[in-house]
């Protein structure tokens, strides 16, 4: 049996909460903290220990998983008031799981170094259901010794671990490439189904064809099935792929790359968010491109 040790997760929303459930179900001691206390309280019933401050969650942990939304929130929980960096013991590790700009990951790792803390650049992909069953994708970049020390934990979180390399920031770069593909595919799926609607086709039957033909994509099927059912409860807010495609475009600009589709996909997410769909699931792209009004809140 794998030797376990205390783990902290700061940010237990859809993904962080599902990761906590996975670890708890596999016998790992988990300490949690979230700005919305009800999220932590729900995990207490499963065996987690809840804390009001990130530092209190991180203090007993050998590794702290940061699963907040963006670089600003990441820096705040790591280095702000009641911060993780001051609380963790020398030689322990911080795993960064949000989708961040590579420059931000690199600078955060540099900021952690004077505290004697290792950084694991480990963005994730796959959604809450896969996080609960341990099948999310983890794109891991860190020093080999750090990876080996955390191999059991990482393997518990994911059976799809991609060892990207040693250079901090390469996990983030890989995630941005993946999420740009996801954004392009989602916009494409919403566009063609909006066209099918305008043509008078049965949109569900059209998606049946696409799913078994050359136009198939996982994200297209996942989101468009929900859109057709009118289920826009947010699993992934519209603003997330807006942010991720923006970061991908910034990373592309830094290496002087200009492709034909990425900027167009980002523009669609930005316009949909500005049109009042920001807090809805990104499946709402179908209604947006079809010209339907935003659904009532």
Give the pLDDT score at 2: 65
Q: Over the stretch 175-190, which tens digit does the pLDDT of each residue have?
A: 999 999 999 999 999 9
Give the pLDDT score at 82: 80
Give the pLDDT score at 9: 98
Give the pLDDT score at 242: 97
- Give mean pLDDT, residues 78-86: 91
Among 23-27, 55-59, 94-98, 234-238, where is mean pLDDT lowest? 234-238
State the pTM of this model. Answer: 0.92
Above 70 in pLDDT, residue 296? no
Q: Over the stretch 114-154, which tens digit does the pLDDT of each residue have?
A: 999 999 999 999 889 999 999 999 999 999 999 999 999 99
DSSP conformation class of 142? S
- Give mean pLDDT, residues 191-198: 98
Give the pLDDT score at 260: 96
User: Distance (Å, rounded) from C-alpha 10 to C-alpha 18?
Assistant: 12
- Mean predicted lDDT score pLDDT of the chain: 96
Domain ranges of the chain: 7-168, 173-290
User: Distance (Å, rounded) from C-alpha 131 to C-alpha 57?
Assistant: 21
Cα separations in angstroms, 166 against 74, 110, 121, 162: 21, 15, 9, 12
Would the CATH topology of 7-168 be identical to that of 173-290? Answer: no
Give the pLDDT score at 297: 58
Task: State the greatest distance between any 2 C-alpha atoms of the chain, in Å, as a whole number.
Answer: 64
Other beta carbons within 10 angstroms of residue 297's beta carbon come to 6
SS3 31: strand
CATH dotted code for 173-290: 1.10.1040.10
Give the pLDDT score at 251: 96
Q: Angle 278-283-285 (CA atoms, 0-180°, nearest 5)?
A: 70
Q: Pick one of 3.40.50.1820, 1.10.10.10, 3.40.50.720, 2.40.10.10 as the CATH number of 7-168.
A: 3.40.50.720
Q: Over the stretch 158-176, which tens digit does the pLDDT of each residue have?
A: 999 999 999 999 999 999 9
Chain centre distance of CA 40: 18
Give the pLDDT score at 292: 79
DSSP conformation class of 284? G
Above 60 in pLDDT, residue 1? no
């Amino acid at each position: 049996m794998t030797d376990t040790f205390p783990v902290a997760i700061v940010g237990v929303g859809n993904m962080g909460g599902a990761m906590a459930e996975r670890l708890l179900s596999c016998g790992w001691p988990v300490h949690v903290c979230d700005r919305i206390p009800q999220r932590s309280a729900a995990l207490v019933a499963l065996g987690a220990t809840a804390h009001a401050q990130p530092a209190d969650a991180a203090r007993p942990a050998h590794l702290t998983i940061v699963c907040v939304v963006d670089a600003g929130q990441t820096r705040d929980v790591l280095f702000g008031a009641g911060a993780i960096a001051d609380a963790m013991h020398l030689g322990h590790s911080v795993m960064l799981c949000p989708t961040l700009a590579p420059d931000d990951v690199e600078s955060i790792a540099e900021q952690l170094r004077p505290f004697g803390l290792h950084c694991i650049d480990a963005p994730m992909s796959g959604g809450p259901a896969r996080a609960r069953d341990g099948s999310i994708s983890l794109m891991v970049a860190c020093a080999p010794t750090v990876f080996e020390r955390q191999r059991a934990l990482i393997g518990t979180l994911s059976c799809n671990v991609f060892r990207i390399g040693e250079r901090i920031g390469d996990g983030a770069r890989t995630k941005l490439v993946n999420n740009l593909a996801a954004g392009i595919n989602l916009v494409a799926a919403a566009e063609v189904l909006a066209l099918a609607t305008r043509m008078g086709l049965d949109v569900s039957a059209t998606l049946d064809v696409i799913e078994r033909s050359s136009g198939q994509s996982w994200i297209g099927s996942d989101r468009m099935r929900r859109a057709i059912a009118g289920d826009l409860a947010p699993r992934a807010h519209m603003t997330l792929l807006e942010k991720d495609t923006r970061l991908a475009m910034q990373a592309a600009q830094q290496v002087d790359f200009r492709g034909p589709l990425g900027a167009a996909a980002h523009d669609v997410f930005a316009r949909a968010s500005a049109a009042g769909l920001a807090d809805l699931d990104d499946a709402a792209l179908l209604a947006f491109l079809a010209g339907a009004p935003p659904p009532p809140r």
